[in-house]
Amino acid sequence: MVRQKIQIKKIDNLTARQVTFSKRRRGLFKKAQELSTLCDAEIALIVFSATGKLFDYSSSSMMQLIQRHSLQSEKSNKPGQQPLHTQSGSSNHAKISKELGDLTLELKQLMGEELQGLGMSDLMKLEKLVETGLNRVGKTKNDKLLSEISKLKTRESELMAENARLKQEANQKLGCARNGMEQGNSAESITNFHQDLVHRPDEDSDTSLKLGLPFSNGN
């Protein structure tokens, strides 16, 4: 018998809490159905027990209702339908910080090992978080790589330009020198000449084009 009106706070006694959960849950679902029937409303109700067990009801298709919800709730924020949000856990900050600490621990675990203690929903949340982090890292890395490539290409053209200048310069100097000595030798012969004189530059230019890629899979 209802000896006294209870206050709405978490029931301490475990069994009493479970019993009440069972009873009130049924009541809630019944009310939901009744409202749906009486007033032609569409209703989706999802309940997770403290132990993680799922109970749900929907007057039509759960998926459709959820879609509709995400659609409407993002379109317009209607005031007055969410004063209820802040009810459940605003009482003790100690618990909140504790939970946050636990979550941090979970994150560490996810980064490292030991994922077995985690529930699926926790895993999903953490996965999302890690995913964003990963994306950001990837983006940053990408930018750096592209920047590097850009710099290298610039550098390459600079070197090639200088290279060309040097060759031309060499030709000019050689021509000048030869002019002073003999005159009249063609560019090819000059090239051949210093090819012997120095360390076969042509071969080097060729190899430079087909050189390998040492750290391509370095991840």
Partner DNA sequence: AAGACTATTTATAAGGG
Partner DNA sequence: TCCCTTATAAATAGTCT
Binding residues for DNA, rule: CB under 7 A, are: 1-6, 15-16, 18-24, 26-28, 30-31, 34, 38
Rounded to a whole number of angstroms, the minimum distance from the CB of residue 82 to DNA is: 13
Least CB distance to its own copies at residue 202 (A): 10
Residue 2 contact partner, candidates its own copies, DNA, none, CB within 5 to 8 A by sort of partner? DNA
Rounded least distance, CB 67 to DNA, Å: 24
Report the residue number, 15 or 116, with the smaller CB distance to DNA.
15
Which of DNA, its own copies, none has residue 191 at its interface (CB below 5 to 8 Å by kind)? none
User: Quick one: what does residue 130 bind among DNA, its own copies, none, with the CB cut-off 5 to 8 Å set by partner type?
Assistant: none
Estimate to the nearest angstrom the gap between the alpha carbon of 56 and the chain centroid.
32
Q: Which residues contact 47 (CB under 8 A, 6 or more apart)?
A: 25, 28, 54, 55, 56
Nearer to DNA, 50 or 187 (CB): 50
Number of Cα atoms under 13 Å in the Cβ half of residue 80: 1
161 binds, among its own copies, DNA, none (CB under 5 to 8 A by kind): its own copies
Residue 18 CB, nearest distance to DNA (Å)? Answer: 5
Residues 197 and 174 sit within 8 Å (Cβ to Cβ)? no
Judged by CB, which is closer to its own copies: 73, or 187? 73
81 binds, among DNA, its own copies, none (CB under 5 to 8 A by kind): its own copies
In angstroms, what is the minimal distance from the CB of 1 to its own copies? 18
Which H, E and C letters describe 130-148, residue by residue?
A: HHHHHHHHHHHHHHHHHHH
Q: Select the binding partner of residue 3 from DNA, its own copies, none (C-beta < 5 to 8 A, by kind).
A: DNA
Alpha carbons 139 and 197: distance in angstroms, whole number: 50
β-strand partners of 56: 46
- Burial status of residue 107 (CB atoms within 10 A of its CB: 0-12, 13-18, 19 or more): middle
Shortest distance, CB of residue 50 to DNA, whole angstroms?
10
With 0-12 / 13-18 / 19 or more C-beta atoms within 10 angstroms meaning exposed / middle / buried, residue 70 is exposed
Residue 7 DSSP code? P
Closer to DNA at the Cβ: 35 or 137? 35
